[in-house]
Amino acid sequence: METAFFSFKNHLLLLLLFSVLLLILTIHPLEAESEDAAIISRFQQYLQINTAQPSPQYQQSADFLISQAKSIGLEFQSIEFAQNKPLVLLKWPGSDPSLPSILLNSHTDVVPVEQHKWAHHPFGAHVDSDGNIFARGSQDMKCVGMQYLEAIRRLKSSGFHPLRSVYLSFVPDEEIGSRDGAKKFADSEIFNSMNVGIALDEGLASPSENYRTFYAERNPWWLVIKATGPPGHGAKLYDNSAIENLLKSVESIRRFRASQFDLVKAGLKAEGEVFSVNMVFLKAGTPSPTGFVMNLQPSEAEAGFDIRVPPTADPESLERQFAEEWAPISRNMTFQFKEKASIHDKFGRPMLTKTDSSNPWWILLEEAVRKANGKLSKPEIFPASTDARYIRERGLPAIGFSPMANTPILLHDHNEASV
């Protein structure tokens, strides 16, 4: 197995090469082994900052990132669009600021951990005998944020000065929807002033030798369905009881989910191209001191569903299905959205970044991977959601790209590791 030490270093080279092609530069030789060790040490320091939701150590993270900016020689600022949630924005000024800039985005928060289920402390950044680095965020996505920094560190140390400006944004709250992070950032005057031409954001590791890229993503629709009905004795058979009506809807949704999943299992569509529907909560019953009242049928029942909608979908058709089949008024049912993200940008177009010759940024990425002796898989729709959607929502191109090939997908898992 390739060790984390050399794997992380090679991933840096790929991002370095992409930066080089974007900035019209040639590759420089690898640093000495001592510098490689320093790179890993800086990565470990970042991982050791506990930025897990719901109480991320954002200020410690911001202080670390600003210290890195100072050591590299980048401009920096810490911005709070929401109190105690700093967004760190770094800038490498270009010699021609009139040109569209490059934005390298990553998020600083990570998902929670069940510490007792980890082989090593989730914020210890332990390196095992095979070189694997165990830590929450080692794949999602502190590794990519550090790769951006190390690539620019190398470029600056070579004496190169970019023609166009390069920005690095380290944003909070991606793991809880980004409302106080990337969303407010993308809507701000600060973002407008940056004149962004292309953004890179997170992708996924690839278990094969081919790197994965993402040109779009599914958008979250979080749906709550509620059924009402007459309360009654637990032994009596009622028509249109709350739980009975809800179960009819659950079965209909289950069949829809299975039909979408069958397309994936048959190889007819990729995961990002279909709707995903997963029940995330079920609430019913009359509480009692010992649990629930067993001889009383409740008058209300609710279920919540995490639905992910591909950017090529017909949202109006899906909403009709909600009203007519999943939560019909005829069964005393209602539905509401806890989250309903748009699948169109502000110009009314599907939020898709082109991956053909019409997009020069895409051509540069393909060339970079080839020159690094790598291979790209077919571009995909990201199966979940990332901060890139707020960039695409503005009509700008954004590519999801975490350069990790021959690497198991471990984000959000116990024992997440860079391998």
Same domain, 61 and 176: yes
Among 313, 340, 367, the domain-final residue is 340
**pLDDT for the residue 16:** 53
- Examine residue 349 and state whether it is found in any structural domain, yes or no: no
Domain boundary among 340, 375, 392: 340
Phi, psi of 199 (to 5 degrees): -125, 140
> Are 49 and 145 part of one and the same domain?
yes
**Catalytic residue check, 36:** no
Beta bridge partners of 214: 380, 400
Catalytic pick from 109, 150, 273, 345? Answer: 109
Residue 244 bears catalytic tag:
no
* pLDDT for the residue 37: 87
| 307, 340, 373 - which closes a domain | 340
Residue 103 located in a structural domain: yes
Helices (H), ranges, 221-380 = 242-265, 315-321, 360-371
Number of domains in the chain: 2
Domain extent at residue 269: 220-340
Can you tell me the distance from the alpha carbon of 200 to that of 106, in angstroms, rounded to the nearest whole number?
A: 9
Residue 139 in contact with residue 404, Cβ under 8 Å? yes
Residue among 117, 121, 116, 146 at smallest CA distance from 136: 121
Residues 40 and 67 in one domain: yes
Burial of 331 (0-12, 13-18, 19+ CB in 10 A): middle
Same domain, 56 and 202: yes
CATH code of 403's domain: 3.40.630.10
Domain of residue 240, CATH code: 3.30.70.360
In a domain, 350, yes or no: no
State whether 13 and 160 are in the same domain. yes
Residues 98 and 239 both lie in one domain: no
pTM of this structure: 0.87
pLDDT 10s digit of each residue in the chain, 419 long?
344 544 555 555 456 545 544 443 333 333 445 678 899 999 999 999 999 999 999 999 999 999 999 999 999 999 999 999 999 999 999 999 899 999 999 999 999 999 999 999 999 999 998 889 999 999 999 999 999 999 899 889 989 888 899 999 999 999 998 999 999 999 999 999 999 999 999 999 999 999 999 999 999 999 999 999 989 898 988 888 999 999 999 999 999 999 999 999 999 999 999 999 999 999 999 999 999 999 999 999 999 999 999 999 988 898 999 999 999 999 999 999 999 999 999 999 999 999 999 999 998 889 888 888 889 999 999 999 999 999 999 999 999 999 899 999 999 999 999 87
Residues 45, 151, single domain; the answer is yes
What is the C-alpha to C-alpha distance for residues 301 and 247, in angstroms, rounded to an integer?
A: 10
Helical (H) or strand (E) element with 190: helix 189-194
The pLDDT assigned to 19 comes to: 53
Of 140, 150, 173, 174, catalytic: 174
Look at residue 201 and tell me if it is in a domain: yes
| One domain for residues 63 and 192 | yes
In this prediction, residue 249 carries a pLDDT of: 96
Considering the domain architecture, whether residues 199 and 241 belong to the same structural domain is answered as no
